[in-house]
Amino acid sequence: MTNAIIIAILAAIKIGIVIGVLLLVIAYLIWVERKVMAHMQVRLGPMRVGWHGLLQPIADGLKLITKEDIIPANASKILFVLSPVIAMIPALLSIAVIPFGDTITIMGVSIDMVITDVNIGILFILAVSSVGVYGILLGGWSSNNKYSLLGGLRSSAQMISYELSMGLSLIGVIMMTESLSLVDTVNAQAGLWFVVLQPIAFVVYAISAIAETNRCPFDLPEAETELVSGFHTEYSSMKFALFFMAEYANIITVSAVGVTFFLGGWRGPFLPPVVWFLIKMALCIFFFVWLRSTFPRFRIDQLMQFAWKVLLPVAIVNVLITGLVMSIL
Amino acid sequence: MLESLLFIIMSLITIACAIGVVFQKNPIYSAVFLIQTMVSLAVLYVLLHAQFVAAVQVMVYAGAIMVIFVFVIMLLNLNKNDMEDGKTKMPMQKPAAIILGLVLVVMIGVVMTRTIYQGAQGEYTPEVMDQIGNTQLVGKMLFTKYVLPFEIASILLFAAIVGAIILAKKQIIKEEK
């Protein structure tokens, strides 16, 4: 009985820390993105609030909370309010199975640096993130606005198409580790990272991850030149902020999965595991920002053709090759 | 104790949502209730020690099939008149639905009383499954014992996809002429 209580308390502490850190990181990711993009475009970015604009996220947050919350007259009220929540919850949930570090022992109690190690880890992430699309889809529909609806439809088409190649790109790694648990995946990379053994899968994963998070150059759902701002045109105040935070939480999730599956997870010399994990994730996130300030947006037909005619066949061939090589060796 | 409490709560939610699917006037709301039904069923699978089936249930039904459903309903853009017209157009629908529903309930009832309520346990108890691993067991069964039904089901789905494409293509060719 006492054992169960200790496990419950530990889980609660871990969830508290992870969610707290995650929300803080999301707030500062927006600052990082603005700063990095500004410097890439020879600007300064936010400078006024705090040293080099470091307090900007807090100012932004206060502004968003105090804004007027508008619900359009002909909107479907329940779904309109529910959609930002549906977008946010899956984004936070999928962090639960990602291992941040090795097992450590404090006062005789060994603690795994993962909230919960379920034996279907990656399936859990894929399942939960596939539900996240409803936030965008229903948000776009319930606003009763044609721009929102178009944005919602575009994003659902995009996310369904790229989800397939994303799942297939991970199958190569799953075949090699023979486990769906993320802890096992990290342990299997003690010698060699899977990015070396599965380079094609890594490229396919990276491209589909960017498309899954609706980021530039795949940010068609909110293409401001065509759709005002897509599915969240009618959203204001904290509801808008929730959509915004969900996008960044998704970036963190796909980066974390990418690090775990291809870049050795928390493994690395000299520094503590958690630090290595954070460094690798920061590099992935920097890559996202870098892309946004470099590439122009795709057209919708190019996007769909690329998903079905290039990315999906490449991912399937990769699975076949992995199977062939594994059966020969 | 905790498990049976969770089971009761989740099955009540599932039934409530399933009723919602049928009684909602707006097809989008029906679809949302159906999504919730799928997710609640996944929780019931977890309670039955079938984690793999639960994850696949959410991924395939809630995450893929229902997205297409919602997508199509949104593209159809039904207004109130369309939905009310449907009632008069198909007068035979209601009695037929009632009869078929009753047949289904009887069938499920017969199967349940013949198998599950006999109290007989299969060879794969939760303990055995934990030992071998849930996913591994599902994979093994699909590729050995159930390989024929599995392949037949996939060919059936494939035929349906080809049929849908041909039907859609015909209309496009006609329009071009």
Average pLDDT over residues B151-168: 90
Structure tokens given for A157:
């088409």
Closest CA to B43 of A18, A16, A128, A7: A128
Q: Testing the interface with B: which of A89, A93, A118, A180 to mutate, by most B Cβ within 10 A?
A: A180
Which residues have a Cβ under 8 Å from the Cβ of A142 and sit 6 or more positions away? A75, A76, A77, A79, A80, A83
Out of A131, A141, A157, the one facing B63 most closely (by C-beta) is: A131
Bigger pLDDT: B42 or A236? Answer: B42
Which residues have a Cβ under 8 Å from the Cβ of A271 and sit 6 or more positions away? A279
Give B15's pLDDT tier (boundaries 50, 70, 90): very high
All residues of chain B having their beta carbon less than 8 Å from the beta carbon of residue A157 are: 71
Smallest CA–CA distance, residue B115 to chain A, in Å, is: 29
Q: CB of A149 within 8 Å of any CB in chain B?
A: yes
The C-alpha atoms of residue A243 and residue A312 are separated, in whole angstroms, by 28
Mapping DSSP to helix (H, G, I), strand (E, B) and coil, where does residue B48 land? coil
pLDDT value at residue B102: 94
Using CA atoms, how far residue A192 sits from A185, A198, A267, in Å, is 12, 11, 10
The single residue listed with the structure tokens 């044609």 is A146
pLDDT value at residue A327: 85
pLDDT value at residue A13: 85
The C-alpha atoms of residue A208 and residue A223 are separated, in whole angstroms, by 18
Q: CB of B75 within 8 Å of any CB in chain A?
A: yes
Mapping DSSP to helix (H, G, I), strand (E, B) and coil, where does residue B124 land? coil
Bigger pLDDT: A2 or B177? Answer: A2
Out of B62, B70, B135, the one facing A180 most closely (by C-beta) is: B135
Directed axis angle between helix B66-76 and helix A133-142, to 10°?
20
Cβ(A80)–Cβ(A139) below 8 Å: yes
pLDDT value at residue A91: 85
Query: Per-residue pLDDT for B85 more than 70?
Result: no
Backbone angles phi, psi at A104, to 5 degrees: -120, 160
The C-alpha atoms of residue A209 and residue A258 are separated, in whole angstroms, by 9
Query: Per-residue pLDDT for B156 more than 90?
Result: yes
Query: Per-residue pLDDT for B88 more than 70?
Result: no
Instruction: Provide the mean pLDDT of chain B.
Output: 82
The C-alpha atoms of residue A302 and residue A211 are separated, in whole angstroms, by 13
DSSP state of B25: S
All residues of chain A having their beta carbon less than 8 Å from the beta carbon of residue B63 are: 127, 130-131, 133, 163
Closest chain A residue by Cα to residue B130 = A119
pLDDT value at residue B26: 80
pLDDT tens by residue, B66-83: 888 888 888 776 666 666
Using CA atoms, how far residue A174 sits from A51, A169, A194, A198, B156, in Å, is 45, 9, 10, 11, 28
Query: Per-residue pLDDT for B86 more than 60?
Result: no
All residues of chain A having their beta carbon less than 8 Å from the beta carbon of residue B55 are: 120, 123-124, 126-127
The answer, yes or no, to whether the previous bond of A221 is cis (omega within 30 of 0) is no
Q: Testing the interface with B: which of A7, A126, A134 to mutate, by most B Cβ within 10 A?
A: A134
pLDDT value at residue B16: 92
All residues of chain A having their beta carbon less than 8 Å from the beta carbon of residue B56 are: 123, 127
Backbone angles phi, psi at A101, to 5 degrees: -170, 180
Partner B, chain A 38-77, Cβ-Cβ below 8 Å: 76
The single residue listed with the structure tokens 């998070």 is A213
pLDDT tens by residue, B52-66: 888 888 888 888 888
pLDDT value at residue A15: 86
The C-alpha atoms of residue A234 and residue A139 are separated, in whole angstroms, by 9
Closest chain B residue by Cα to residue A152 = B71
Query: Per-residue pLDDT for B142 more than 60?
Result: yes
pLDDT, averaged in runs of 10, over chain A (329 residues): 78 86 86 86 82 83 84 80 87 84 70 75 85 84 81 81 86 84 81 82 89 79 70 79 86 88 80 83 88 82 86 90 86
Structure tokens given for A32:
């990082």
Structure tokens given for A72:
């359009």
All residues of chain B having their beta carbon less than 8 Å from the beta carbon of residue A76 are: 28
The C-alpha atoms of residue B14 and residue B39 are separated, in whole angstroms, by 9
The C-alpha atoms of residue A125 and residue A95 are separated, in whole angstroms, by 8
Q: CB of B72 within 8 Å of any CB in chain A?
A: no
pLDDT value at residue B116: 67
* Beta-carbon separation of A120 and B39 below 8 A: no
pLDDT value at residue A107: 67
Alpha-carbon Rg for chain B, nearest whole angstrom, is 21
The alpha carbon of residue A322 and the mean position of all alpha carbons in its chain are separated, in whole angstroms, by 26
All residues of chain B having their beta carbon less than 8 Å from the beta carbon of residue A160 are: 64, 67-68
* Beta-carbon separation of A138 and B70 below 8 A: yes
Out of A120, A138, A141, the one facing B51 most closely (by C-beta) is: A120
